[in-house]
Amino acid sequence: MSYRIDSVDAQIIELLQQDGRMMYKDIADRVGVSLPTVRARLRNLIKLGLIKKFTVVVDSEKIMGRVKAFVLADVDVENTDQFKENLEKVEEIRAASFVAGSKSVMLEVDIEDMEHLNTLMFKLSKGFGLSGFSVYVSTKVLKEEYGSRVKPDTPLQFRCRFCDCVIYGKPLIRHYYGGKYYFSGEECASAFKERLDQRYGAKESHGRVLKAAEAKKENASDVPK
Ligand SMILES: [Zn+2]
């Protein structure tokens, strides 16, 4: 039986999608539940990772000269995790998805101006595992909404970070080295942890730093009161 969200969860999410600063008390009134219920539901939705974060949306059209572009490129990478890390480092790339059908990636770029865009494209063509770029520069944003809409009785799906199988029911959630991961079971979790230990083993002596980073990340995911 897969994990499903109910209509209370769906309503809370919808209200916060409209206004991320809405007071918990107002949410409780609108949904018709108690304040502790709203808190508990949100804590759970965050823990499940369905709510990824609370953020602020900046209007790029208010920034002088700013260029928004969509870039379709062919990918030739062996290590997807490494590719993801490389993408993380380029802050002008605001979103990236592999797209079906071919080995392609779609990037969403938000950058100072055309000159910077050209420089970025040059950078991405060197050692990034990308080639065959098609660049579409946005001339006007017509609609912009964020994240998925969620209806009541929507089943959730989690994939095991280690074996990539679909997890039915509640996933096992583990925090390692400041990251949050979902697993199908203890075996996959410990196998994955072993892999991370090998990778970050050299940094083991900085355990305290890593722990601090982990604590910071935990706090960061707390919802504003
Ligand atoms: Zn697994």
Q: Each residue of 125-145: pLDDT tens digit?
A: 988 889 999 999 999 999 998
Q: The CATH number of the domain where 68 resides is what?
A: 3.30.70.920
Q: How many percent of the chain have pLDDT more than 70?
A: 88
Mean pLDDT of 16-30: 96
User: How many CB atoms neighbour CB 88 within 10 A?
Assistant: 10
166 and 221 together in one domain: yes
Residue 143 counted as domain residue: no
Residue type, 126: K
Return residues with CB closer than 5 A to ligand 1 (ion).
160, 162-163, 184, 188
Question: Which pLDDT score is estimated for 11?
Answer: 97
Classify residue 13 by burial, with Cβ atoms within 10 Å: 0-12, 13-18, 19+: buried
CA distance 114 to 120: 10
Residue 142 counted as domain residue: no
Question: Which pLDDT score is estimated for 225?
Answer: 36
Q: 51 alpha carbon to ligand 1 midpoint, in Å?
A: 22
Q: Each residue of 146-164: pLDDT tens digit?
A: 899 999 998 888 889 999 8
Confidence of residue 67 (pLDDT cuts 50, 70, 90): very high
CA distance 176 to 193: 7
Q: 3 alpha carbon to ligand 1 midpoint, in Å?
A: 17
Instruction: Count the domains in the chain.
Output: 3
For the whole model, what pTM was predicted? 0.73
48 and 152 together in one domain: yes
- For residue 15, what are the domain limits? 1-57+148-156
User: How many CB atoms neighbour CB 119 within 10 A?
Assistant: 13
Q: 78 alpha carbon to ligand 1 midpoint, in Å?
A: 21
Ramachandran region, residue 177 (left: φ > 0; alpha: ψ -120 to 50; beta: rest): left
99 and 204 together in one domain: no
Of 106, 137, 168, the one marking the end of a domain is 137
109 and 218 together in one domain: no
User: If DSSP states are collapsed to H, E and C, what string results for 54-70?
Assistant: CCCCCCHHHCCCCEEEE
Residue 133 counted as domain residue: yes
Q: 192 alpha carbon to ligand 1 midpoint, in Å?
A: 9
Residue 185 counted as domain residue: yes
Q: 66 alpha carbon to ligand 1 midpoint, in Å?
A: 43
